[in-house]
């Protein structure tokens, strides 16, 4: 992404909201860690509702700072571990798409790995036992990653300020799905791309 951003003349802004390590303060990133990783969705919610709200607010703040600096287009992306699992669970919960259809190989799981992933995600769905009409914040608390929640907040903040949102990939799209449940008009600000 560094090379692509340089080639396009785009500015890259990195925000740590939940990396499971202490990153050096001198790194050129925004240090906004909420916690060192989320909880294990097999056993309980990924995060508290308060953590969801905190991550959303960080995203809104980052978007507002960019608009104040003259940015008019934002492309979102993430670096996370296991976040295709979170995206699959969020998509399943908010669209009622069969879970099996939401789960892919992620970063290249073999067949046994994909089977394990499907089994583990089915356990997480059964444990959460969300109602069909669960609201977006509840879904995020159960299944979200901090990076997904923060991106949803950035999308909401950016759209509110009239920015164009570039939407690329399954994980970013799951964040948009959440944002669109909170503010359906956000879709008018989106360009789907790769």
Q: What is the pLDDT of residues 17-31, one digit of tens each?
A: 999 999 999 999 999
110 CB-contact burial (10 Å; exposed 0-12 / middle 13-18 / buried 19+): exposed
Distance CA 94, CA 188 (A): 20
- Residue 30 in tokens: 């925004």
What is the model's pTM? 0.95
Q: What is the DSSP letter of 192?
A: E
Q: What is the pLDDT of residues 133-185, one digit of tens each?
A: 999 999 999 999 999 999 999 999 999 999 999 999 999 999 999 999 999 99
Which residues on adjacent β-strands are paired with residue 74? 165
Q: State whether the Cα torsion 144-146-152-157 is positive or negative.
A: positive
């Amino acid at each position: 992404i560094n090379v692509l951003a340089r080639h396009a003349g785009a500015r890259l802004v990195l925000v740590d909201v939940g990396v499971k390590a202490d990153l050096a303060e001198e790194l050129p990133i925004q240090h906004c860690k909420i916690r060192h990783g989320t909880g294990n969705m097999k056993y309980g919610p990924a995060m508290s509702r308060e953590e969801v709200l905190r991550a959303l607010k960080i995203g809104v703040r980052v978007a507002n700072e960019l608009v104040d600096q003259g940015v008019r287009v934002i492309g979102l992306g993430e670096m996370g571990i296991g976040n295709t699992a979170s995206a699959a669970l969020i998509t399943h919960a908010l669209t009622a798409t069969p879970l099996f259809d939401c789960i892919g190989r992620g970063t290249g799981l073999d067949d046994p790995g994909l089977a394990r992933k499907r089994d583990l995600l089915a356990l997480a769905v059964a444990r959460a036992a969300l109602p069909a009409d669960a609201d977006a914040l509840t879904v995020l608390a159960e299944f979200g990653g901090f990076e997904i929640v923060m991106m949803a907040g950035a999308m909401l903040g950016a759209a509110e300020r009239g920015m164009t949102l570039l939407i690329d990939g399954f994980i970013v799209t799951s964040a948009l799905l959440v944002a669109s449940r909170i503010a359906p008009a956000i879709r008018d600000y989106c360009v789907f791309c790769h």
